[in-house]
């Protein structure tokens, strides 16, 4: 992306599973780049300043996520939101981290601490209801 007016971070994402792909452009083991608003700017003085959006977090290296991506008119991807798969439990990428299960949060918080299998079942059910899903 050649946007010099906004601050964003880019992430290399290796695809291991595909739940929905309207354009049929993804494949397993493909590495794509997706961005997220916010990041850090290093000024010529050497000072680094972080610019973030409240409650939007960033995927971390060597962790597993289910990410919801948006493709723009130029074909670039941005991360709308996501869920970290931590063992057998799901944690929302966005919202306040380290909240107890069932603690009020962004709408994504309803899956905080939920079993991965239940999360996958809900995701696949939602995709079937909207006519989405990978065929």
**134 compared with 33, residue with greater pLDDT:** 33
Global pTM reads 0.82
Tokens representing residue 92 in the block: 């929302």
Lookup result for tokens 């709308």? 80
Average pLDDT over residues 29-53: 93
Return the exposure string of 106-133: e unless at least 16 CB atoms fall within 10 Å of the residue's CB, then b.
eebbebbebebeebeeebeeeeeeeeeb
β-strand 77-86 against 31-37: which pairing, if any? parallel
**125 compared with 109, residue with greater pLDDT:** 125
User: Which residues contact residue 134 at a Cβ distance below 8 angstroms, ignoring those fewer than 6 apart?
Assistant: 18, 19, 20, 21
Domain limits of the chain? Answer: 8-129
Predicted confidence at residue 15, as pLDDT, reads 95
Q: Give residue-wise pLDDT tens across range 49-98.
A: 999 888 889 999 999 999 999 999 998 999 999 999 999 999 999 987 66
By the 8 A CB rule, do 17 and 65 touch? no
């Amino acid at each position: 992306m050649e946007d010099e007016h906004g601050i964003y971070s880019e992430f290399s994402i290796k695809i291991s599973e595909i739940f929905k792909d309207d354009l049929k452009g993804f494949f397993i083991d493909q590495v794509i780049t997706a961005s997220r608003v916010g990041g850090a700017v290093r000024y010529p003085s050497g000072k680094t300043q972080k610019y973030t959006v409240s409650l939007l977090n960033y995927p971390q290296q060597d962790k597993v996520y289910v990410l919801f991506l948006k493709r723009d008119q130029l074909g670039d991807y941005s991360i709308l939101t996501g869920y970290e798969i931590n063992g057998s439990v799901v944690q929302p990428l966005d919202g306040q981290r380290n909240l107890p299960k069932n603690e009020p949060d962004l709408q994504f918080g309803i899956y905080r601490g939920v079993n991965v299998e239940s999360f996958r079942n809900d995701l696949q059910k939602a995709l079937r209801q909207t006519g989405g899903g990978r065929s």
